[in-house]
Structure 1
Amino acid sequence: MTRVADEMPPTAASLAPGRNLTAVFVNPGLPGERFWNMVTATMQAAAQDLNVSLEVVYAERNPILMKRLASAALARATPPDYLVLVNEEQAASDLLPLADGASSHVVMLLNGLTPEEQTTHGVPGSVHPSWIASVIPDNHGAGRRMASELIDAARIYPPGETRHGLALIGDTRTPASIARNAGMLNGFAEHDVVKMTRILEARWNLPDAERLTHHYLQWAERSGLHNTLIWAANDAMAEGAVRAVEASGMQPGKDVLIAGLNWSPEGIAMVMDKRMVMSDGGHFMAGAWAMVMLRDHADDTHWAPRTVHFPMSPIHQGNVDIYGPLLIQPDWETVDFTRFRLQTMEDDYAFDPMAVLEQMKDSPAPLERQD
């Protein structure tokens, strides 16, 4: 495919409708990391449905390596039709000018550009003709909802008593984390019965969260603080908090209430056994949504560059019996991701992770599918 910016607008990709597309996803994580495994798995299932040959390369949480991998893909003799990037630690924006000089189109997912970066690079289709779309989950809404559900669950504590909040955040740099943290602060600020006593950066991992929670609980005990609510920015940190609470001789879900995020099998299992109040999530489907969008871009010459914001949803005691088993052992091949394509370019995308779970719930059992 050849695109000359002066002769052919990037919205009119010279790709035969329906033909096989090539895409490279620069996964910012490490092979084997739970969340990034989930992003990749749903992306691969969607790619299969949409006739996309997907290649995944891993940046291993190294922004320099991420730039190197993306640059190498763009410099190939035959570059991929699409490059899928995550703006982890603000490393992706520097790649947009490089993509403009190649024949690849860029889809950004999960972490978009920061407001500061947008002053230079704009939005999809404005400054960089290669940048066709971003797909961003509602992290602010998820963070706020987690705080609200913790407060609702805290009615088990005596009326009128102050609840003490610990927040285990992932970082203060990535746009997704910044939005999630802001939602948490807004959610707790709406209720004067909660006092946020500590906000600690656990760097997204279980061991740091377990250690920090252990020290917090010791401090809370010395200070005479009880009725603790723990907001954890992902399920791995929530699991670390659960382990620290159990090691202290208390019962998570009763003595200490904990909320996480990711819809990970581990997190869902802890919601099922009531050690966690809830796990918000569905954002790992951003990779699948990216496959839908690039397919639509390739097949329709009237594509308009866009940023799509999509909802996240909670798995809690009210719905975990229905959806929990689907997430503990997910079979993404039961989902028909073509259903999420646009019918016309004037439509809006209806990306909803709960719609995916509904498809899985209604799909035939494996033995039935073999008939």
Structure 2
Amino acid sequence: MLKFLCQCALVVCLPFSAVAHGATVLFLNPGHADETFWVSYSQFMQAAAKNLHLQLQIRYADRSAPTAVAQAREALKGEVRPDYLVFVNEEYIAPQILRMAKDSGVKLFMVNNALTPEQLSLVGPELERDPYWIGSMVANDEEAGYLMLSEIIRQHGPVSAGQSVDLLAFSGPKNTPAAQLREKGLYRALAEHPEVRLRQRVYGEWNKNRAYDQATLLLKRYPATALIWSANDEMAFGAMQAAQEAGKVVGRDVLFSAVNSSIPALEARIDGRLSALVGGHFTLGGWAMVLIGDDAKGIDISQFGGRNRKVPLLQLIDRQQAQHLLVQVRSETWQVPFARLSAQGKPASWHYPFSLNTVLQAP
């Protein structure tokens, strides 16, 4: 992982003018350069770019919306501009970036968090007519939230008539669409299981330490807690630490679920500390590179699935799948044939085969 970070830092420092060939792409990564999820995300994205002969640079915003907006302004208003800008609608910054991009000549693609209905109403239909707007791609976050809770309820098993099961939930930031959708899935699963009682839902902000502090208090308040739902792995691990300190046996007394495909999450799924793990959305950036590569070839990617895509990337990962993914994540190599996923030469009925299974089936 350290080797990759060093390589990534080197790529970030190269000016676009130094690139010898291929379309240039700048990705505004909203996370930290040492943040597990966003590092694996960037790693997969870099592997795709290399395979597709795209020149990718990555800048980290360190979880700061003002920093991300400033980085976008520099890219869109500066003298040397990328051919494509890829960004995330984290903390609702997309409309600002879209306004800045006007007349910049830079093509835009959004990943992970799409425009909210309110934002769409502000931006207006003109966005869909903008030739520089390539589109967006998001994962099935609502389904992820639903799958996680449904699975740990299934593993818990039925309860006697008149009895209930206590649940705690750790959601992400209030103003992040992906977190909101995962929470929506949580409530859909709850509606199907009246025997499960949600004792409290808190906002852990994706942060392990914050979730640990919250869980320490909540487990004292609700000592019968048997299920803990977390919108990412870091919060799950924070709550897991608190549960262990409270004398609970993780995986027996309390069942945990989480989202992500980090090394710790995959290891926890293999050894049973995570009873349910949903992953796959770390691949979004890599699939975006496939779409951008086709656009750079002059292919109308909207003909193969539309401009704005919701891809069913997030799925439950069993222990065998976790072991397969763990080998690839640890080796920092991805043997995915990205170039073969191009729409070039494909019939009109063809759709891009983006899924976690594409990764799992790679050697």
Q: How does the TM-score come out when normalised to structure 2?
A: 0.87
For 1:192 and 1:64, the matched residues in 2 are separated by 42
- Deviation string 1:257-278 (CA, Å, 9 cap, x unpaired) is 1001111111111111111102
CA contact (8 A) 2:167 2:228 kept: yes
Structure 1 residues 98, 152: closer, same or farther in 2, change over 3 A? same
> Structure 1 stretches of 5 or more lacking a match?
1-18, 364-371
Report the Cα distance in structure 2 between the residues aligned to 1:190 and 1:158, rounded to whole angstroms: 15
Distance 1:122 1:307, change over 3 A: farther
**Which of 347, 352, 355 is residue 352 of structure 1 equivalent to?**
355
Indicate yes or no: 2:235 matched with 1:256. no
Q: Percent identity?
A: 32
Q: Count how many residue pairs are aligned between Structure 1 and Structure 2.
A: 336
Q: Call closer, same or farther: CA 1:158–1:178 in 2, change over 3 Å.
A: closer
Q: 1: distance between equivalents of 2:125 and 2:204? A: 31
CA gap 1:123/1:351 in 2 versus in 1, 3 angstroms: farther
Q: 1:72 deviation in Å?
A: 0.7
C-alpha separation between the residues in 2 aligned to 1:64 and 1:70?
10
Shift of 1:340: 2.2
- State the shift of 1:245 in Å: 1.0
Please identify which structure carries the higher helix content: 2
Task: Note the alpha carbon deviations across 1:316-365, whole angstroms, 9 max, x for none.
Answer: 34x34653533551543322212322243733222101211211xxx2xx
Q: CA deviation at 1:127?
A: 4.9
* Residue number in structure 2 paired with 1:238: 236
Equivalent of residue 164 in structure 1, options 163, 166, 182:
166
Q: What's 2:80 paired with?
A: 78
Distance 1:123 1:327, change over 3 A: farther
Residues 227-236 or 319-328, more deviating: 319-328
- Which of 127, 130, 139 in structure 2 is aligned with 1:128? 130
| Residue among 281, 284, 287 paired with 1:286 | 284
Deviation at 1:135, TM superposition (A): 0.8
Residue deviations 1:137-175, cap 9 Å, x none? 0000000000100101102x7544311110001122111
Q: Which amino acid aligns with 1:308?
A: R
Q: Structure 1 residue 229 and structure 2 residue 227: aligned?
A: yes
Provide the residue aligned with 2:308 in structure 1: 307
SS of the residue 1:171 aligns to: coil
Q: Which residue in the other structure is 1:181 paired with?
A: 183
SS in 1 for 2:361: helix
Q: How far apart in 2 are the matches of 1:124 and 1:234?
A: 35
Structure 2 unaligned blocks of 5 or more: 1-20
Computed over aligned residues only, the root mean square deviation of the Cα atoms, in angstroms, reads 1.9
Deviations 1:25-50 (A, max 9, x none): 11111110111111111100000001
- AA aligned to 2:132 is S
**CA distance 1:345–1:27, shift in 2 (3 Å):** farther
The alpha carbon displacement at 1:66 in A equals 0.8
Instruction: Give, as a single letter, the amino acid of the residue that structure 1 aligns with 2:153.
Output: I
Q: Secondary structure at the match of 1:172?
A: coil
Question: Aligned to 1:126, what secondary structure does the other structure show?
Answer: helix
Alpha carbons 1:125, 1:132 under 8 Å: kept: no
> 1:338 maps to which residue?
339
Q: Match of 2:151?
A: 149
From the superposition, tell whether residues 198 and 229 of structure 1 become closer, same or farther in structure 2 (CA, over 3 Å). same
Show CA shifts across 1:190-209 (max 9, x none): 11110111101111111111
Q: In structure 1, the residue corresponding to 2:128 is in which secondary structure?
A: coil
| Alignment partner of 2:90 out of 83, 88, 91 | 88
CA distance in 1 between counterparts of 2:283 and 2:248 reads: 35
Q: Work out the CA distance in 2 between the residues paired with 1:189 and 1:332.
A: 41
Is the 2:167–2:226 Cα contact (8 Å) retained in structure 1? yes
Aligned residue among 15, 28, 32 for 1:26: 28
- How far apart, in 2, do the equivalents of 1:145 and 1:217 lie? 24
